[in-house]
Amino acid sequence: MDLTAIPQYAAEAAKAGGPGDASLGMFLYKLAHVPLITVAKVRGRARGGGNELALACDMIFAARENAIFGQFESGTGAFPGAGGIQHLTRRLGRARAIEAITGADDFDADLAERYGWINRALPDAQLDGFVERLAKRIAGFPPAGVRAEKRAINDLTLPQPANVRSDSAIFLSLVALPESRERLDYLANRGLQTSGDLERHLGKAVAGFPG
């Protein structure tokens, strides 16, 4: 997602039925409900919408050496609008979710594992083999039972569509505010969304806005 083009995204979403339903949040809501087991493997930076994509999967496994997770939106005056609030509050608990979301800092794989953000942090060399073995193990079980188990767990742990639509609407309203646009422009002019030092240390960069 190009954060500098969100007004255009919102306009296009409105043509397709409104931002509440034609949104990244509702797409990821549907991903979380597919009748298959989904696994995210992370060996780089998963922040903002990228982290929300990982959270929509059933499990997350990460490379200990180089995976980073974060919801940086608070540092720009915005709001995680595609499931970050919903999933992290359920996974981390209230106090840790407030720390992670309002603090807008980066979490390495080991800390994310301790907080319950991800399933496990593994050495990069072991990540592929571990996930493949687990996937094959689950795939070898009778599928009707696996589907029923996922459906029951979803019923207990996933947000309702109204929650997702509300988060999307709040995100769009906040990201349009002058202060948010100013902060996003400031970061964009210094390397946001491009490979470089600012993206590598975004959790630090969002706290460095002058003023």
* 3 state DSSP class of 41: strand
CA distances from 35 to 143, 146, 149 (A): 10, 9, 10
> Would residue 73 show up in a list of annotated catalytic residues for this protein?
yes
Q: Which of 73, 99, 149, 199 is catalytic?
A: 73
CB 79 within 8 A of CB 51: no
Q: How far apart are CA 97 and CA 165, in angstroms?
A: 20
* 3 state DSSP class of 77: coil
Q: How far apart are CA 161 and CA 42, in angstroms?
A: 27
Per DSSP, what are the bridge partners of residue 61?
41, 120
Q: Which of 12, 52, 149, 179 is catalytic?
A: 52
> Would residue 182 show up in a list of annotated catalytic residues for this protein?
no
Q: Is 128 exposed, middle or buried (0-12, 13-18, 19+ CB in 10 A)?
A: middle
**Would you name the residues annotated as active-site residues?**
52, 73
